[in-house]
Structures are given as structure tokens and as C-alpha cells.
Structure 1
């Protein structure tokens, strides 16, 4: 799908740790919650495996895969809308986008990109800069904080990578006009991104999986009763 962000974010391939064979060994990398996720989540399907050629799970009774309707029901995000697609950013454009969208100066933008080792920004730096914004601040500051939050949300849910600490700045391209954010087909982009990550996860030597695991878990729990966790009817801690 080329530069289509629904397939794969335009700049994500330039970030260390996002290559299919790169495990992203960073000092600040959190405890990996996606390691062996393919085995843990897909394991309950006896004889089943993901086939990237058809974007389906091959199961004993046939083929099956998450659909646009599944994503819409589980996440409640728009199915129809403008494509989540843009051209790949240069380093200069990435820095300028940070300046325009988040109100930082160019030197801060360049430092943020350098610290994140690619066209990304650290999640913690977003918290530090915008965590104290309140209704008492001016409208421009509030708008910048809103974009920062949405950037964090997109990078940590729909288009989560394997580091869990960095968010690609390219998503700010879709957040400049806050009123039009809802006009994009986030449902389709999230599903295409999940398909790509499932295809990557089955490659030899890959030990981590990117993508929105809650979406995949929700789909499995919805369609496969045997994979659902047992309810704690006694309301006791495990």
C-alpha cells in the first residue's frame, strides 16, 4: 500500500527497533507485553495460523479474519472517511511539523527527534510538556495539548510499535485541524495496520508484535468462546 498509513506508518521503518528482526533493545524499553503474543493469542486456535497472502487465519473449519465491522463494533471508530495516508516525511519536515502542531521551538523539535532516534517523539516528553495544561491556558496551548494527547493515543493504541516509549510524529499530519480528526477512516487504517503486524509476527526470529493487542484480543474473545477468560464471579483477587 506504499505510503498508506493504514498499511504501515510512513516513517516507522526508519525507527530503530521497528525492523522485523530488530528487537529494539533500549535502556528505557518497558517490560515487553507483546513478546510471544502470537503464540499466546493464536495458540488457542488448534491447527490455525495467520496467512499474510490472504490476511486470514487458516483454521480447521475454514478461513476467518477480523473485519471492518469487527473493528467498528469493538472500538467504535469511523469506518468511512478520508484515507489515513500521507507522503513520507523528511527529517526537516518532521521537525517543522512538531513546531507547527505542538508549539515547540525548532531547537526543541530537533532535540526531541534526536533523543527518540528517528522521526518520533518520546511519550514521556509529551507528558512533561503538556501534563499541566488546564482550561486557564490560552486556546493555542490547549489545542497543542489536544494534539499531543491524540498523538499519544494513536501511537499507543491503533498504531502501537514495539518500543512502547516512542510515537511517530507523522500522525500529527492528521491532527492539525482538530475538528476534522473524526473525518478520517481510522477503522480501516487500524485494521490494515493490524494485518501487516500479524504478517510480520509469523516471520522467523521475530519475537515481538506491534499493533493494537486489545483489538485482537477483543476479536478473539468475541468469536471464540473457549479463548475467553473465566469470569471472577466471587469478585476476589486472583
Structure 2
């Protein structure tokens, strides 16, 4: 499933604020050595990169600017607990995993269950595919 987004779900990704993020990296070459260098210099205890010239902190504003994600409005934090994760999964995706544990979704199941919608797909199928696409992205 994970590849460039289908034009059939562009509208839904735009409404959710994920269109730009879904298109990042397609056609770009990632520099694995640069990524490795940053990973080696990351200090999770201080949430900073320790570089030769000092510390560098990546803020939410930095992420917002780079990914063009909306970071306004109310903050959503915390822990969602439900005894009925199958119901939540069905309400949002229209399908339920055979074995669902605490809200975790297996990526293999997601890819196997949600195939790219065709031109004859319904709006509901496209919305569910867009949701699955976003889940796989994040």
C-alpha cells in the first residue's frame, strides 16, 4: 500500500492535513550516511542533537515548518483506552483484525486489507483507504 498516494484520496489527505507529508520523499534520494550521523548524535534524555558546534534542538515549530503540518488549535495528548478496539477499528476502517491487542494494528494486515481504490470505488472505500494510508504513514 505504501507508495505515492492515489489521486483518488488526494482530497481526503488534504482535508486531514497530510497531503504534503504523503508526497515527501517520492523521487528524492535519502542520504543514509547523513541520517546515520544524526541518529548517532541524538540524545533522547535531552531531546537534542549533540553536534560539533553545540546542541541543536528540533522543536514542534521546526517540524511544522518542514513538513507543512498544521500545528494550531487544541493539543491532543494522553492515552486512549478502550475495551472495544475492534469496534473502534471497524468504525474507522470498516474491517477488524483477527487478533487485535490494545489498539495495535499490524502493518501487514493493513497492506493486505486496504488495496488501492479503483475508479469504481465508493466514497466510503476511498475514505477508509485514506485512513489506512495515514495510519501507515505515521
What TM-score, normalized by structure 2, do the two folds share? Answer: 0.58
1:136 offset after TM fit, Å? Answer: 1.3
Structure 2, unaligned stretches of length 5 or more?
Answer: 1-34
Deviations 1:3-41 (A, max 9, x none): xxxxxxxxxxxxxxxxxxxxxxxxxxxxxxxxxxx9743
> Which of these residues, 127, 137, 143, is aligned with residue 127 of structure 2?
143
What TM-score, normalized by structure 1, do the two folds share? Answer: 0.36
What residue number does 1:77 align with? 69
Contact 2:85–2:102 (CA<8 Å) still a contact in 1? no
1:66 offset after TM fit, Å? Answer: 0.9
Structure 1, unaligned stretches of length 5 or more?
Answer: 1-37, 155-238
SS at match of 1:125: helix
What residue number does 2:108 align with? 124
Name the CA shift for 1:59/1:127 in 2 (closer, same or farther; >3 Å): closer
1:133 offset after TM fit, Å? Answer: 2.3
The RMSD of aligned alpha carbons is: 2.9
Cα distance in structure 1, aligned partners of 2:94 and 2:133:
14
Cα distance in structure 1, aligned partners of 2:36 and 2:116:
41
- 1:53-92 to 2 correspondences below 5 Å: 54-58=46-50, 61-90=53-82, 92=83
Contact 1:103–1:144 (CA<8 Å) still a contact in 2? yes
SS at match of 2:84: helix
1:144 offset after TM fit, Å? Answer: 1.2
